[in-house]
Amino acid sequence: MKPNNQTTTSKLIPIILRYFTISVFLFLPLLLLLFSLQTTPSSTTTTTTTPGIRIRPGYASYESYIQKQLNKTLNPKLRHIWTTRDWDRKIRVFSTFFSHLKNSSFLTNSSKALCIGARVGQEVEALIRVGVRDSIGIDLVSCPPLVIHGDFHHQPFPDNTFDFEFTNVFDHALYPEKFVGEIERTLKPGGVCVLHVAISTRSDKYSANDLMGVDPLVKLFRGSQLIRVKKVDGFGLDTELIFRKRKLG
Give the closest residue to 119 by CA, choosing from 88, 146, 98: 146
Q: Where are the domains of the chain?
A: 5-40, 53-245
For the entire predicted model, the pTM comes to: 0.80
CB atoms within 10 A of CB 236: 13
Residue 52 contacts residue 213 (beta carbons within 8 Å):
yes
Q: Which CATH superfamily is domain 53-245 in?
A: Vaccinia Virus protein VP39 (3.40.50.150)
Helices in 43-190 by DSSP H: which ranges? 62-73, 76-83, 85-103, 122-129, 176-186
The more confidently predicted of residues 205 and 243 is 243
Specify the length of the chain in residues.
Answer: 249
**Which residue did the predictor score with more confidence, 37 or 94?**
94
pLDDT in tens, 46-100: 455 688 999 999 899 999 999 999 999 999 999 999 999 999 999 999 999 999 9
Asked if pLDDT for residue 16 goes beyond 80, the answer is no
For the segment 196-220, what is each residue's pLDDT rounded down to a tens digit?
Answer: 999 977 777 889 999 999 999 999 9
